[in-house]
Amino acid sequence: MKKNSVYRVVGESVSDQGYGITHIDGQTVFVKNLLPDEEADIKIIKATKSYGVAIVQKRISTSKDRVEPVCTQAGKCGGCSFLHMNYSSELNFKHDELNHLFDQVDPSIDVKPVLGMENPWNYRNKAQFPIRIKDGKIVSGFYRPHTNEIAPIDHCPIQAVMINEVFAWIIENLPLRDARGLRHLYIREAKTKQMQVVFIGEQENDLKDFARLLQKQFPQIVSVVFNKNTRKDNVILSDEYEILLGKDTITEDCLGLKIELHFKSFYQINPVQMEVLYSKALELANLSKEDHVIELYSGTGTIGLLAARSAGKVTGVEIVPEAVANANENRKANHIENAQFICMDASEFAAKNKNAADVVFVDPPRKGMTTQGIHDICLLEPRRIVYISCNPRTLARDLKDFMNNGYSCKLIQPVDMFAHTTGIECVALIEKTNEPRLLNNKTDE
């Protein structure tokens, strides 16, 4: 197999990154925009000793699962990997991938069918658009895969309708002088319809007048912020900011909870599926009024505050000060007396509070838990752990560590929070068995 060679192949499966998979002379080849059972002529664009990457030059036959992408930037912006596949097939694919992954951990784990969306469009409540000036014009959109080059867009079919409208208006009306030095444009919309806009850049450029014009055009915008970021890495938000209009939060609603949401605080990007996700997590937790619940990586405290309705006591632990302040404000606003939120590293907290929990909720970042963090959670000796994960691979890795510490995973409920992308959220029910199982912690990639 050589670069620029052309081969006729048949798609065999799909990778977890959305590439079609086929084989040439025993080597795996990842093919962009190829579905299983499709025959196509492909051109090799990258050839290594172990695998190849290819593009479709000519499609000979078409899968029954193929649909025409609704986005003009499909395959270009690096966001949606499954716009060419019908949604029911996408959900089946994600379920098959999860079954294969968790079967390597423990074949007895019950991986439930993926809970999909009735309408898998315009679901995202937050967007972060890179912004540049090129040839005297403002260019904004999303990054092309594996580059810092922007694929310009005028709207995105998975972003909320109003986010698209606000974005388009800003790009059309923002004066060039005010755009100089900007890096990103951040827009968030709540279920309450309140909106927030954050300009992120190296210099503020006196955006207050433009902020007033923006609110006049879109009265639902109650927060406009400038976040100064001079860092030389890929971190989008920094600590230094100025409120240009209104406040630095918007009011959100989740299952009847009033949430005051700071622009730096983590919040699930799909409000419809978030309620599905959290309802399932609470169902699996099976709480009683005698239970002490500990929520690690608690963010704005949403899960903990929801759990407080059924539990005796809730303690939330979060390392981001703004999120902890948010959580405590949300506790007061919802008149919840049996919850508290503290600012501390989750592992440090767990090590200092042995035997303290009946049920633990954990919703870590994509990198998952550390081995020490898992050990510390086990020191809390909860009878039940509800692990919410946005990365199935790190969940699979972490489940092995929990099993080595006397716990077992009964079931996993996938929730499709990220329709048309390769992402999937999972809720895992982990229960104490007192019988550690020494497992090899390697999970096949």
Annotated catalytic residues are 390
CA dihedral in degrees (304, 338, 345, 233; nearest 10)?
50
Which residue do the tokens 């609603």 mark? 253
| Strand stretches in 170-311, DSSP E | 182-189, 195-201, 221-228, 240-246, 249-254, 257-262, 292-296
Tell me how far apart the alpha carbons of residues 361 and 281 are, in angstroms, rounded to a whole number.
Answer: 8
Tell me how far apart the alpha carbons of residues 66 and 63 are, in angstroms, rounded to a whole number.
Answer: 5
Q: Are 170 and 197 in contact (CB under 8 A)?
A: yes
Q: What 8-state DSSP symbol labels residue 157?
A: T
State the number of CA atoms in the 13 A half-sphere of 189 facing the CB: 21
How many residues in total does the chain contain? 445
Question: Rounded to 5 degrees, what angle do the CA atoms 141, 146, 151 make?
Answer: 20
* φ/ψ (deg, to 5) at 228: -85, 125
Residue 318 in marked binding region: yes
Listed residue (39, 43, 61, 62) closest to 3, CA to CA: 43
Tell me how far apart the alpha carbons of residues 218 and 161 are, in angstroms, rounded to a whole number.
Answer: 13
Structure tokens, 443: 């999970």
Output b/e per residue, 137-176; b: 16+ Cβ within 10 A: ebbbbbeeeeeeebbbbeebbbbbebbbebbeebbeebee
What pairing do the DSSP bridges indicate for beta strands 51-59 and 359-362? Answer: unpaired
Q: Are 338 and 312 in contact (CB under 8 A)?
A: yes
Tell me how far apart the alpha carbons of residues 141 and 150 are, in angstroms, rounded to a whole number.
Answer: 6
Residue 27 in marked binding region: no
Tell me how far apart the alpha carbons of residues 169 and 125 are, in angstroms, rounded to a whole number.
Answer: 17
Residue 268 in marked binding region: yes
Structure tokens, 200: 């992120």
**What's CA 122's distance to the chain center, in Å?**
15
Residue 363 in marked binding region: yes
Q: Which helix (H) or strand (E) holds 257?
A: strand 257-262
Listed residue (363, 367, 408) closest to 387, CA to CA: 363
Which residue do the tokens 């990220």 mark? 418
Query: How does DSSP assign 194-223, residue by residue?
Result: -EEEEEEES-----HHHHHHHHHH-TTEEE
**Which residues participate in the annotated binding site for S-adenosyl-L-methionine?**
268, 297, 318, 363
**Which residues participate in the annotated binding site?**
268, 297, 318, 363
